[in-house]
Structure 1
């Protein structure tokens, strides 16, 4: 931190969200020094930050919460971007937390789409969420991998701009007022990686401002704008979901269907993640159970045929019974299971959900995270990682592979 004045904890925590990276990191350094050493337990290798959409107002804020909760290993996992990596690396170094670097994007399983099979998206056949786990290099902007991400982001930005314009029209039509602008949407994320969730958030911010300007109850303004009674709970997360569902989702007046360019094939996205030196991983939806995920063994067979040997789970949105089924199926194949909380809504939950520390799951999550850490360490030094550049496992035997890469710290 600049200056010599001693800041209170609340002032330091506010500085974690400041515009200066050095001030954010300086505040974290002082907070960690004040807190002292704490026991570390549990892993969370799938969180989004404000570089995409998140409850966290900065990357450093996420790391500070991990410090307070005693998280041992934390993983950044933003959509379509690696822009938060440097801040995350430096913040984790200050905090003494082992960092995992990953990214996420949506691909289209064309065969599943043609057969009307639902996989990782309960509403859109063929759509799957894929991660590149344990990134060990950043390809140049001119690379095929970066161009794939850029094309997807550009297509999604065109859609989000169009939805924002439709929201503005709804404001004029139903409220006789100016709606959110694209500039306001884009400003919600530091490098303009705006999503549909940002459009919904900017809409809610504008509705709150309009209610204040007119001295009107917020629920009245919300009902007029969304043509539906809002939820009685006025917390940000519930209202964000309400606005998004009534204005932006399929069937709502401001919905715009994604273009073909928004989704590359599974193979193209997998190749892109390999170019980042990462382990391709499939994010299991878990709940609701879709037609394509109902038979977990058949799903893992499908994934292996597509060149995947790892999965992500978000335990807090899965029942215990279903999570046990997923983890057991992966363990039988000696596949790592990477756990996390996403944090991609306005609601800030604990980074360690109950399942992260559950004796039935914690050992496998911990060993799977060790796989990531060793992959990052070895591949980052130019040695063989969990998956080779050709996309094949570097150790053919699945059990030997898992045991070798999970041996960190033993």
Structure 2
């Protein structure tokens, strides 16, 4: 392994000091011309999980910023499940690398108004994935800190209940949550995928050849299991699907008490100076089929942007299903346009096989490339002004100068487009004083 490859590996070390040292060394090498970066291209990924929840490649927030620089992304955004643990690390890495970045979180919420209808969590009425983006700190104000801590606490409780159920089924292969699962996550926020890995490791410790064990527990022919084991990612997905998803022994039927309400989450997001972002699945649920009505409800409850994972909405093998998915993709993008909602897109990267970045040249996506770029610029512009001057999208300053949604969106999008990437952009904005006019800001940023 080359020295550069070893340093890149250290960017995702669980020790934050090693991550910082590796990044600084790589930046120094770049300044010496020993590491080169490609020109920026018109691609963005604004929905990337990191190892603070689960990243299929094991990437830390620092590694995500480095990936964007090495691949020439226009912008990149991290979105971790239930936590804000990576916010400062990510934004600081973006500063150093001169990368446009934004940070957020994703969680599931309960929406009483839709308690009898499926939304975007399949088979789970009233439960909805939702995103906050544009955070500048991992610390929440005191008045909403309980909501953030509650998300982490409830996730841990759910994980431990899953482990108890699966332990009973897989016995004598069992895991201890504290000993075997928590160490797989750098900050004590494991997911189902970490739990799966812990069980695979436990089975390997107990049985020199665990194929027979898994064949019995998964009710599959041994030969098929032996083949699946060779595909580590596929095997992990199989175990999770059979044991922890709906119908599996470890599946926990959601209840309202397990999640914050949409209102509680939006109060947290707003108090942190971030942006509430509606998450869209694929348009097939009862709720999402009414794209206009669903988005209007979200806007009335504080959403200012829409998140889409494009790849699952066009890149499918079945031709008829692809046609239906693409048609619904067009519908939701049109509905978002009518409501002046910027669109943030990304690949998630929290499941094996997901892409590093979307294919914006695909026929289904190419017409929307500029919309997707503008969505990234929008949240980057907000992040820059919030960090530099406290003049983010929801600030009194922004509401006074831009009471109308479309004009406010256009302004923050233009800031994100014009501002120098990284620390230079923040420094330039700070140099304008505490409350510059919008015209002063755009003039300073140039064309």
Which TM-score tier does this pair reach, normalised by the shorter chain? 0.7 to 0.9
d(CA) in 2 for partners of 1:152, 1:290 = 25
5+ residue gaps, structure 1, are 1-5
2:112 to 106, 110, 113: 110
**Structure 1 outlier segments of 4+, above 6 Å:** 389-394
Inter-partner Cα distance in structure 2 for 1:356 and 1:76: 23
Distance in 1 (CA, whole Å) between partners of 2:112 and 2:371 is: 32
Q: 1:25 to 1:72 in 2, by over 3 A?
A: farther
Structure 1 counterpart SS, 2:366: coil
How do 1:62-101 residues align onto structure 2 when only pairs under 5 Å count?
A: 62-101=64-103
Cα 1:157–1:46 shift into 2, 3 Å:
same
Show structure 2 runs of 5+ residues with no match: 315-325, 419-446
Distance across 2 between alignment mates of 1:68 and 1:382: 29
CA-based RMSD? 2.7
The aligned residue for residue 3 of structure 1 is: none
Q: Deviations over 1:100-120 (max 9, x none)?
A: 01112211111211xx21111
TM-score for the superposition, normalised by structure 1: 0.87
* SS class of match (2:109): strand
The 8 Å contact of residues 49 and 78 in structure 2, kept in 1 or not, is answered as: yes
Higher helix share: 2
Query: Cα deviations across residues 91-133 of structure 1 (Å, max 9, x unaligned)?
Result: 22333211101112211111211xx211111110111111111
2:7 to 12, 37, 50: 12
Query: Is the aligned partner of 1:377 residue 2:384?
Result: yes
Does residue 36 of structure 2 align to residue 36 of structure 1?
yes
SS of 2:74 mapped into structure 1: strand
Partners of 2:117 and 2:125 within 8 A in 1: yes
Deviations 1:317-349 (A, max 9, x none): 1124332322222122221001111111244x4
Q: Are residue 321 (structure 1) and residue 313 (structure 2) matched?
A: no
Q: Which residue of 2 aligns with 1:254?
A: 250
TM-score normalised according to structure 2 size: 0.80
Pairs aligned (count): 393
1:55 and 2:56 equivalent? yes
* Residue-by-residue CA offset, 1:214-272 (whole Å, 9 max, x unaligned): 332x5433222223456654423322221112111232222233454321111111111
Q: Hey, what does 2:235 align to over in structure 1?
A: 239
Post-superposition Cα deviations, 1:256-292, rounded to whole Å, max 9, x if no partner, equal 33454321111111111001100111110126x2110
Against the structure 1 CA distance between its residues 254 and 403, is the aligned structure 2 distance closer, same or farther, given a 3 Å change threshold? closer
- In the TM superposition, what is the alpha-carbon distance from 1:60 to its structure 2 partner? 2.5
Q: Deviations over 1:195-225 (max 9, x none)?
A: 2232223223333x24xx5332x54332222
Corresponding position of 2:433 = none
Secondary structure of 2:102's match?
A: strand
